[in-house]
Chains A and B, each alone.
Chain A
Amino acid sequence: MAPDDVLIERVMAGAGIVGRKRRHEVRLELRSHLEDLIAEARQAGCTDAKIATLVAARFGDPRQVALAFARVYRTERIAVDLAAFGSLALVALGIAYAFVYGVQVLLGPGLGVLPARSQSTAHLASEAVLVGTLTLSYLGLYFAERLFARFRFARVLGLMALVAGVVVWGTTVTGFGHGLLVSLAFAAAAVARGFERLGARGMVRFMGVAAIVLVAGGLGHLDMRTAPTTVALTAGLMMILPVCLTIAVSCQLTASLAAFFDRRFLRRHLA
Chain B
Amino acid sequence: MQLDRELLKGSITLLILRLLAERDMYGYEIILEAGRRSDDTFTFKEGTLYPALHQLERRGFLRSEWRHGGNGRRRKYYSLTARGRRLAEQRQKHWTLFTSVINAVLSHH
Contacts and interface: CB of A to CB of B under 8 A. Distances in A.
A153 interface: no
Contact-residue size bin, chain B (C-beta under 8 Å from the other chain) = 10 to 19
Contact of B76 (A32, A35, A68): A32
B51 A65 contact: yes
A73 B50 CA distance: 12
B47 A65 contact: yes
A144 B50 CA distance: 28
A29 B47 contact: no
B73 interface: yes
A58 B46 CA distance: 6
A32 B50 contact: no
Contacts, number: 59
Given A28-B74, A72-B55, A72-B58, A33 B50 contact: yes
Interface in B14-66: 26-28, 45-48, 50-52, 54-55, 58
Determine which residue in A26, A29, A62 has the highest number of CB atoms from chain B within 10 A of its CB, and name it. Answer: A29
Contact of A30 (B50, B58, B73): B50
Interface residues of A, number: 23
B75 interface: yes
Contacts of A59: 45-47
Interface of B: 26-28, 45-48, 50-52, 54-55, 58, 73-76
Interface of A: 11, 25-26, 28-30, 32-33, 35-37, 58-62, 64-65, 68-69, 71-73
